Chains A and B, each alone.
Chain A
Amino acid sequence: MDILAALIDGIVIAMQPTNLGLAILGVVVGLFVGAMPGLGSVNGVAILLPFTFVIQEVTGTATSPMIFLAAIYYGAMYGGAISSITLGIPGASTAVATTFDGRPLALDGRADRALVTAALASFAGGTISTILFTAFAPPLASVALDFGDPEIFALMLLAFATFVGLGGDDIPKTLFSICFGLVLATVGFDIISGEPRLIFFDITGFSNGIRFLVLAIGVYGIGEMIWTINSSRYKNTMTDVKINAGRVIASIRKFSDAWRGTAIGSLLGFFVGILPAAGATPGSLMAYGVAKMTSRTPEKYGKGSVDGVAAPEAANNSASTGSMLPMMTLGIPGSPTTAVLLAGMVIWGLQPGPLMFTDQPEFVWPLIGSFYISNVIAVLVNLAFIPLFLWMLRMPFTILAPLIFVLSLVGTYAAYQNLFDVWLMVLVGVGAFFLRILDYPVAPAVLAIVLGPIAEPKLRQSLLLSDGDFSIFITRPIAGPITIIAIILILLPLIKLIRDRLRQPKSSESA
């Protein structure tokens, strides 16, 4: 009951006009920053950090600036879906998985459906995770601490396992794609030994590694655009979308179709979010993989499944709440954005860490209250803007293609302020186009480049712990079951493949 009383007090403070106004402002800013390719929540929060000092001076409390930044964080998670769906370029790294099904839906003339599903799934994810946060923050913090190196590696293995099925039925090509992504992920300086690896032609740009957004924007911006130009040379590709409130309301009614994806995304996203190594991007990709794997109709994924939009969108919002948990209870950022928030909290005079909940309740509870409020604001603002976003879709492709091209260039430059990465992005886009012509799935490569840099050091740290003994992944109480499930998931389709080939030797030859 203590928690409930504290929470209600917190919500009341979060509803005060100043705080409410800041939350609305933050959500709107976040929505647009998130929708802009290349700019994500981390940029929005970092750019507006200085403004929070003014807020703090005026309001005299650390709560208001934090509410503002948290609202930007949430807004950006909603906004990321918008360009993923309407343009096919992920608005932020966290929204990559949203393009998998959001874009096909939009091309099919159901962009309104995709946008509404994304907004409502984000709301569900944000709210469910906030409830989990409210009820279990301190005990969950200790769960995060129980995840050592072998556990995190096992979890990453599980993520890869869920993605073996993601590239369609061609498992060898999916595995190739994953391996290709993993190789790209090793470019740059090795964290453990400090040695440079795969610095092609001694170009110093490679020492930064191949960054995730370079790959994502290249693949989904440039690559997709070339593909569309190539495949629709003589057709008019303008998507016909009617804009009216009735269709939006109808889509809201049909949201219940996406409950499975929403539920999986909300729970999985939160859990992945609280692990300091992970964050919202792996969370949303894993949620997509799991939703597809457990679906009765996995063949619909990638072709316009509403569950395929709901799962990553619920997950990235849920993970962003989740990543606040280690930040507030342990003082450890779970994502790049929370790293900036943490810096803000220090300068507002707060001490994030294990004692925060007991020592600074006057900060913690209004903030948690504002999570609830911000989610309500975000979903309302987002739904209200949907007609505007749909309008973008009515642009003919001859206008849209150059726009996507420019946004891809600007977005990559904005993210890293580095021309090398812009060139690399274009190169990646062309490469992705050819891979697609050869029918190689690119999504698993994108996943591999997100998870590779997390998985590799964890694998090596674990093996250092065990003196090179791989049984460490099986014998530890948490890592063991996760590893075993992951191995079964990887083997299942392989067994099925071999069985099918044994049964039908003829068809396998022709395939």
Chain B
Amino acid sequence: MTISMSKMTKVAALAAFAWTAAAGAALAFEPTKPIEFVIMAGKGGGADKMARLMQSIVEKEDLAPRPLVPANKGGGSGAEALVHLKGATDPDHTIMVTLNSFFTTPLRQPGLEVDIMTFAPVGRMAEDTFLLWVHKDEGVTTFDEFLAKAKAEGNSWVMGGTGKNSEDNIITDFLNENYDLTIKYIPYKGGGEVAKQLAGRQIHSSVNNPSEALGFYESGDVIPLVAFTNERLPLFPDVPTLKELGADFSYFMQRAVVGAPGMSDDALAYYTDLFSKVYESADWQEYKSGRSLMGDFMSGGDLKAYWDTQRSRHKEILTASGAIK
């Protein structure tokens, strides 16, 4: 199964490469009106900041003849955005920045009738990372101490996260199941709000992305205990990964741009080209390394294959946690 999958990926990648190369030669499509740039999350979170940065880069480097107009549609863990894209009246001028709710929300809400494979694979800009954070006054400096304290406090230990059954919820569920904890999970609107709640000690811990917690980390208010990555992050060299601590678990967030279902091939080629330029810009590269983002640019068939594996993985995770049957 895995072999045939990777073969398929390769073939798809080759085809995609040949096809983008051909399309890149002559731009058959150029936007003729402002491009709606849907953000699958609320204002101030990691996805929002990133989307606005991409928009700014497009403006600054003058990459597109028409502006990107950001629109936050964070309702229902991204369901609002997915439904909006599915019903887009002009798919050639409608693109979206995604989170992992791109995978989980259609799985949890089959009633939305959203098939992510019908979306246009414009480009994956990065994979965001997750760390476990606590406030400096919590009296916890290592993951083991966290486990001991969270266990002792039981149900009154509060983890804040963005939305129900979201990335943060998945990681919290993992911790609860594998370390015999009963942490209480409270969903908030965005990562920015979660960061604020932790800095004000309204909650005990969070699993913010680095971009969301960085400000309070630098000011010394919050400390990272463990990274949910495969290797240590360059920005946090002293923070061990969960793998080092003995659990075979890592988790990333897709930061990708997708086009509305029904986008023409020419338009898709245009946007892939546009966002590969954004990806290569100095501003993006700086943001990426400064916020501990990982992963390379990926588009076309590669990206679709990546979606497929991610969707299967999330299906497993959500089934295990009982979120879906």
Chain A interface residues toward B at CB < 8 A: 46, 49-50, 53, 142, 144-149, 188-196, 204, 207-209, 276-277, 326, 330-333, 336, 339-340, 342-344, 346-347, 351-355, 417, 457, 461, 464-465, 467
Contacts and interface: CB of A to CB of B under 8 A. Distances in A.
B269 interface: no
Interface stretch (B20-28, B181-189, B243-251, B304-312): B181-189
A47 B53 CA distance: 15
Interface of B: 36, 43-44, 48-49, 52-53, 55-57, 59-60, 67, 69-70, 73-77, 79-80, 83-84, 87, 105, 108-109, 155, 158, 163-165, 184, 186-189, 192-193, 195-197, 199-202, 214-216, 218-219, 221, 283, 287
A347 B284 CA distance: 10
B59 A208 contact: no
B49 A346 contact: yes
Given A145-B196, A192-B187, A336 B84 contact: no
A417 B75 CA distance: 18
Contacts of B70: 46
Contact of A53 (B60, B76, B197): B60
A343 B52 contact: yes
A355 B75 contact: no
24 contacts: A142-B200, A144-B196, A188-B80, A191-B75, A191-B187, A192-B164, A192-B187, A193-B164, A194-B76, A194-B165, A195-B76, A195-B109, A196-B79, A207-B76, A208-B80, A276-B192, A332-B193, A333-B43, A347-B53, A347-B57, A347-B60, A354-B199, A417-B36, A457-B188
B197 A148 contact: yes
A147 B193 CA distance: 12
B193 to A, nearest CB: 7
A86 B164 CA distance: 46
A146 B164 CA distance: 24
A204 B164 contact: no
B83 A204 contact: yes
B7 to A, nearest CB: 36
A149 B188 CA distance: 10
Given A332-B44, A354-B218, A354-B221, A347 B283 contact: yes
Contacts of A148: 197, 200, 202
A343 to B, nearest CB: 3
Nearest to B283: A347
Nearest to A340: B52
A194 B77 contact: yes
Nearest to A467: B155
Contacts of B165: 194
A353 B186 contact: no
B162 to A, nearest CB: 10
Contacts of B77: 189, 194
Contact of B79 (A49, A189, A332, A351): A189
Nearest to A57: B60
A204 B43 contact: no
A417 B93 CA distance: 13
A464 B75 contact: no
B18 to A, nearest CB: 35
Contacts of B164: 192-194
Contact of B83 (A46, A207, A209): A207
B75 A189 contact: yes
Contacts of B87: 204
Contact of B75 (A146, A204, A207, A331): A207
B200 A145 contact: yes
Given A147-B200, A191-B189, A194-B105, A343 B53 contact: yes
Nearest to A353: B215
A194 B155 CA distance: 23
A217 B270 CA distance: 38
Contacts of A464: 184, 186
A331 B215 contact: yes
A461 B67 CA distance: 37
Contacts of A457: 188-189
Given A192-B163, A353-B216, 19 more contacts: A49-B56, A50-B59, A145-B200, A145-B201, A188-B80, A194-B76, A194-B108, A207-B76, A207-B80, A276-B196, A330-B216, A353-B219, A354-B199, A354-B215, A354-B219, A354-B221, A417-B36, A464-B186, A467-B155
Contacts of A353: 214-216, 218-219
Contact of B196 (A188, A332, A355): A332
A343 B56 contact: yes
Nearest to B185: A464
A179 B55 CA distance: 39
Contacts of B163: 191-192, 194
B76 A339 contact: no
A426 B195 CA distance: 40
A194 B105 CA distance: 8
